[in-house]
Structure 1
Amino acid sequence: MCVASTTRRRCGDDHSHCFRASRGRLTDALTAADGALSREGQRMSVRIRHITIDCANPYELAQFWSALTGYGEHPEDGNHPDDPEALLVASDGGPDLLFVPVPEAKTVKNRFHLDLQPTSRTRDEETERVLGLGATLVADHRKPDGTGWVTLADPEGNEFCIERSVAERG
């Protein structure tokens, strides 16, 4: 589904046009939110600190995501298989990835997923690399004209997408 679209229909592309179209609306919303005050009269703002992923084995899943993203292990959290959770730290100041154990297995499609954009490879090269790390193919939305994306799942079944790189969008 095209989240930036006012029609809420899947646009069939990698959404770059959606982001361009929504950039003005987003800028206006951020400007308005920046000056907004809570009921207590304090400025309202948040930062996404962690993206938390429920899983059966935090250490093993963190190893997969570390190899996928290049995020490093937190020096005090998640470095050992017997640790109760695992934390990967983003080197660029972005949100960290926190893996926490849950007793139940994943049974349905994610309600939230990550769209990943390769920085040093093409979408297709990155897809092959990630499949080699242990991901599985869920759906291939690549089109003959080069647009589209690939939906994969990590070793515990959590879906994520690989989009085209910036160079491929050129």
Structure 2
Amino acid sequence: MIDVHCVTFDCAQPYELATFWRDATGGELHPDTEKNDDEVLLQGGRVDLLFIRVPEDKAVKNRVHLDITGSAGTTRDEEVERLADLGATISGDHRNPDGSGWVTMLDPEGNEFCVCRAEYERV
């Protein structure tokens, strides 16, 4: 058995992308973070997120992505709206009339993630 220490994102602007995910998740930037750092650690969730500056642009679909759900009673649809207000965009809407399904979104640097219904929405 292993523990996942963190999920790492290659990106062009680590501070800006970490700030988006901080606002999305409610995590906290590492206390020593500076705006021009090449690596920015976001802490406080079940798994830390690490953003590392790389010179190349994102060119293809992610091979790994996050599936996220709302918390504190928010619905999937409310989370989609909140994340869009923070700067994410919808790239695929897979919601079904019966309430099942998910929404594929892109963060400000084009990294895919899915917003799914939380367990409390399925009862």
Bin of the TM-score, shorter chain as denominator length: over 0.9
Report Cα offsets for 1:104-145 as digits up to 9, x if no partner. 111111110000011121000000000000001110000000
AA of the residue aligned to 1:129: R
Q: Does 1:105 align with 2:61?
A: no
Q: Which has the higher contact order (CA 8 A, sep 6+)?
A: 2
1:81 Cα deviation (Å)? Answer: 1.2
Report Cα offsets for 1:67-92 as digits up to 9, x if no partner. 0111111112xx2211121000024x
CA distance in structure 2 between the partners assigned to 1:158 and 1:150 by the alignment? 14
CA distance in structure 2 between the partners assigned to 1:80 and 1:61 by the alignment? 13
Match of 1:53 in 2: 9
CA distance in structure 2 between the partners assigned to 1:80 and 1:127 by the alignment? 29
> Which structure 2 residue ranges, 5 or more long, are not aligned?
none
CA distance in structure 2 between the partners assigned to 1:69 and 1:51 by the alignment? 14
Pick one of 77, 85, 99 that aligns with 2:39: 85
Structure showing greater radius of gyration is 1
Spell out structure 1 runs of 4+ moving beyond 2 A.
Answer: none
Match of 1:75 in 2: 31
Structure that is richer in strand per residue: 2
Structure that is richer in helix per residue: 1
> Which structure 1 residue ranges, 5 or more long, are not aligned?
1-44
Tell me how many residue pairs correspond in the alignment. Answer: 122
CA distance in structure 1 between the partners assigned to 2:56 and 2:118 by the alignment? 35
> Is the 1:119–1:166 contact (alpha carbons within 8 Å) kept by the matching residues of 2?
no
